[in-house]
Structure 1
């Protein structure tokens, strides 16, 4: 009897190792599970994720899986964080009064479900790259 209980517990633990099942369990039972190791059986390109977003006053269709660098998940696997670098081109920057060497780092927080990856917050950081010259006399 103890062997049957133990095998069913191990089976239940292994079933909950995929990300959609972890998220569904959290939504149904209201509890998060912290895992040391997790295998995600849903690839990012399988999620529905092209969204119309506004970044720096420009609305555009953002394909998250092709343009963002993912840096991690929240402890409860509800949110993912990604980075998106955008460099201003000379035509757009001169018309907007920006420097050609200015780049933006966009930190995007995504809400993650079993089928969707939706941006909920976009934080914008501006960087200006300077060129320094070293003169040797």
Structure 2
């Protein structure tokens, strides 16, 4: 029996939360995105994994798709901003400001973004771009 995209996604999230390395999870989330190309959460996760694996160009493409599919997702905007910073692109501020506004409106989303920032800094303590985004969003 083949796994559904949804169960594959959940299993990937569970494995990530258990501490599995991003490089081993990227193929899982790529498959979820292939099977379910309109799943913005899968694209958001894939972008995050690419960022953790130091692949900003791939992260940028995945984050762009996530934002296009769900413009009101602050995590997708944060990922896009990070990918833009890491790959030296311009236009970061508007995405950070949008993420900030979305976080002000929804405290649950705000909590999730703060949690992912902390998670990112635990997994990659010297992540300068994430430290900058954190200071822009939370200070």
Q: Which has the higher contact order (CA 8 A, sep 6+)?
A: 1
Question: Which TM class, normalised by the smaller chain length?
Answer: under 0.3
Higher radius of gyration, 1 or 2: 1
Q: Which has the higher strand share?
A: 1
The normalised TM-score by structure 2 is 0.25
The normalised TM-score by structure 1 is 0.25
